[in-house]
């Protein structure tokens, strides 16, 4: 579960490292889970070449939650529930396109049926 003020890791190559949740989009719930959209503020950047960094520190943008520490139940009974080691997100633009060009780490199979099905082709493995 991701609340307002939660610090999250970035799992793409957009240039950001740590972000903080500002608002949960399209919901009146007090928390967000895997597959939800949130508004974030960028706190830290990666220390790499300036040409590869596509965002600035303090910038506000949208993000999609990919992993959460809290157990999340899958729709199919055969898969059971799943949890991850860290809370992580992927940055997206206002037109719902990815900022980065690749995703680091595995991804849940729940994204096959969502409108973000392009994520599966950018990641290495599925859980």
pLDDT tens-digit series, residues 78-116: 556 677 789 999 999 988 888 888 888 888 777 777 777
Q: For the chain, how long is the longest CA-to-CA vector?
A: 46
The four Cα atoms 66, 57, 24, 111 give a dihedral, to 10 degrees, of -20
Question: What local confidence, expressed as pLDDT, does residue 111 receive?
Answer: 75
Q: What is the pTM of this model?
A: 0.84
Q: What is the mean pLDDT of residues 11-19?
A: 91
Q: From CA 107, how far away is CA 60, in angstroms rounded?
A: 25
pLDDT value at position 95? 87
In the chain the domains, ranked by start, together with CATH numbers, are: 7-122 (2.40.150.20)
- At residue 44, what are phi and psi to the nearest 5 degrees? -130, 150
Higher-pLDDT residue of 50, 115? 115
Q: Is the dihedral of CA 71, 35, 60, 31 positive or negative?
A: negative
The segment with the largest mean pLDDT, out of 5-9, 42-46, 123-127, is 5-9
CB 48 within 8 A of CB 26: no
Cα–Cα distances in Å, from 58 out to 16, 38, 42, 82?
10, 16, 5, 32
**Higher pLDDT, residue 36 or 123:** 36
Averaged pLDDT of the chain: 83
Q: Which of 69, 64, 63, 18 is nearest to 42 (CA)?
A: 18
User: What pLDDT, on the 0 to 100 scale, is given for residue 41?
Assistant: 96
Q: Please provide the size of the chain in residues.
A: 127
């Amino acid at each position: 579960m991701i609340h307002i003020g939660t610090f999250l890791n970035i799992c793409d190559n957009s240039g950001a490292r740590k972000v903080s949740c500002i608002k949960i989009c399209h919901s009146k719930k007090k928390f967000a889970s895997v597959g939800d959209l949130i508004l974030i503020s960028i706190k830290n950047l990666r220390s790499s070449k300036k040409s590869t960094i596509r965002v600035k520190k303090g910038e506000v943008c949208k993000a999609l939650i990919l992993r959460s520490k809290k157990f999340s139940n899958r729709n199919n009974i055969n898969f059971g529930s799943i949890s991850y080691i860290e809370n992580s997100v992927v940055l997206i633009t206002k037109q719902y396109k990815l900022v980065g060009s690749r995703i680091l780490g595995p991804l849940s199979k729940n994204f096959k049926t969502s409108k973000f099905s392009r994520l599966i082709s950018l990641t290495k493995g599925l859980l």
